[in-house]
Amino acid sequence: MRVGLVNDLPMAVEVLRRIVTSTAEHKVAWIAMDGSEAVAAARRDLPDLILMDLNMPVMDGVEATRQIMAETPCPILLVTASVDANVSGVYEAMGYGALDAVDIPVIGANGVASTQGGALLARMSAVGRLASDLPRTLRKSRPPAPRSASTQQLVAIGASAGGPAAVATLLAGLPQGFSAAIVLVQHLDAQFVPGFASWLEQQSGIAVRAALQGDRPVPGSVLIAASADHLVFTSADQLGYRAEPRDYAYRPSVDAFFESIAQQWRGSAVGVLLTGMGRDGARGLKLLRDKHHLTIAQDQATSAVYGMPKAAAAIGAATEILPLTAIAPRLAEVCGQPAL
């Protein structure tokens, strides 16, 4: 991949340059010393990936991410001194379309620590796979038949780039006392899930926590996939993690989660596919539609990255395609709790 480097510290730039050029697979496309330079560089020469710092003069990484994703969309990996110390900025940038965040490797007496450099290269490869081409359009399925009411109601949400802000907006739009159980698969490294859960809870006022092995969906609360393994239903009402399929580029995978709902869940379900790069979730959403569950995809106008929802629309997986702000009222209506 051709990689753009954005950091105002020469030492940090050198660390990143060494890591990128340590393998023949990648090369440095350009270097920008602040967000403003990065926006201009992306306009002139769009790379395959941008490694974006958060705290910089002139224009920070959050605003640079917003402008790049609005003008010249490109996979962005946040690489900053401390993700934990910049939680708010990390999730704000992810809301604009950044795909992931990692701490910048430190340089030691013998150069960049191999484990840290290797971890960054692995993350870069994963982000590269997220940017793969969308699937070819397939024939659309027939509209679903009406589904009988059930006291067991599940809202299953999948999201990737731009997902944190989109999920926060959706949850905040639900009526007080929303009774359906919500389970979320967001493409996010497991170490960031606790902070993400706390942030979502603050934004929405709904109880949010990481899903544990053996958990059951809890009405009126949100469980989030929190492992590099796939979160799936292992029985009709119990969640768990599994490594298979190992060849899925997305871990945790929205497809794997949706597929398990189609196979295991016996109640009423709504599948929701939000903003994201790539095509994860489209096939699984189609399976849910084929099982006569309501399926919703976010529309292009309100998606930070119109990849995953576009892939779902292309294969007729979405019963309804809605703007982000219309999804919560629709969920409230479906679950028998019209928004006030």
Residues acting as catalytic residues: 160, 187, 280
Nearby residues of 106 by Cβ (< 8 Å), 6 or more positions away: 15, 112, 113, 116
Helix segments in 60-113, DSSP class H = 61-71, 87-96
Indicate the SS3 state at residue 152.
coil
- Alpha-carbon distances of 298 from 74, 205, 315, rounded to whole Å: 20, 22, 15
- What are the two backbone dihedrals, phi and then psi, of residue 188, each rounded to the nearest 5 degrees? -160, 140
- Alpha-carbon distances of 337 from 148, 174, 328, 333, rounded to whole Å: 17, 9, 11, 5
Q: Which tokens go with 280?
A: 């994860």
Residue 227's identity, in one-letter code, is S
For 133, which DSSP code? P
Write down the number of H helices and E strands in the chain. 11, 16
Helix axes 61-71, 87-96, angle to 10 degrees: 10
Residue with tokens 């690489």: 79
**Is residue 78 classed exposed, middle or buried when 0-12, 13-18 and 19+ CB atoms within 10 A define those classes?**
buried
